Amino acid sequence: MIDAFKLRSFAMVLSLTVPSALVYGADNNGLTPAAAADLLYQLESLQVEVSQLRGKVEEQSHELSKMKRSQLDRYIDLDKRLTLLLNKPSPVSITEPIKASTPSNIVVAPPVSNAVIVPAPIQIEKPTAEIQSVYRSAYDLVRRKDYKAADAAFTAFASKYPRNELTGNAYYWLGELKLVLGNKEQALENFAVVSSRFSGHAKEADALYKSGIIYDQLNQKTKARSLLSQVIDRYPDTNTSKLASGYLSNIK
């Protein structure tokens, strides 16, 4: 990035050189035509260089914006493949507990008071054709880079279908969209929902990884290391784990 110090230096040169030259010429009549022409040339050269530096700053700002959008595009392709996998029918639903039959002549003892109570799994609903259509409509807005409209569409989707399989994807993309729209705190909130309400979701590793990066950018290094370590420990054979490991090694 172009250092703003150069721009301030040129501005100071212009403010100091021109007035002193004018005073010298007015009081002492010692400014020759050649010297005046040379001073004018230097002034014009400085103005041109300042203009060029401003152009480079604007160009680099544009490139940075393109890089952010390019990163989001790569995740769009990944999400499309994962969504197809999620929609494939499976012979056994992992969200429904298996009930074992108990013979009628056996009395089942009540649980003891110090027994560990395991919470029942959240009942996740399969997406119907209608729900898939609503999700695709929101997803298409991301692909068209209409980020504000996509944010509103995924927010409405998550509110209307709070327990659907695709809702975990919706919260992940809300996190990505909040990042693009410049709100890191809300991005963290949406990524956290993927882990807390949809544990084991295909997007959980990516949500943890992105959260780790955001906490590092917010200078919360301990939290960042913890989340990145979770990705490495819980998803060791994934590409996201490799990314987390590489990022973790560079945190100082």
A 10 A CB-CB count for 68 gives: 11
Confidence of residue 103 (pLDDT cuts 50, 70, 90): very low
Report CA-CA distances (Å) from 243 to 185, 206, 240: 22, 10, 5
Q: How confident is the model at residue 97 (pLDDT cuts 50, 70, 90)?
A: very low
pLDDT confidence tier of residue 24, bands split at 50, 70 and 90: very low
**Contact yes or no for 178/142 (Cβ under 8 A):** no
Q: Which has more confidence, 79 or 21? A: 79
Please check whether residue 147 is in contact with residue 180, taking contact to mean a CB–CB distance below 8 angstroms: yes
pLDDT in tens, 112-161: 334 334 334 457 888 999 999 999 999 999 999 999 999 999 999 999 99
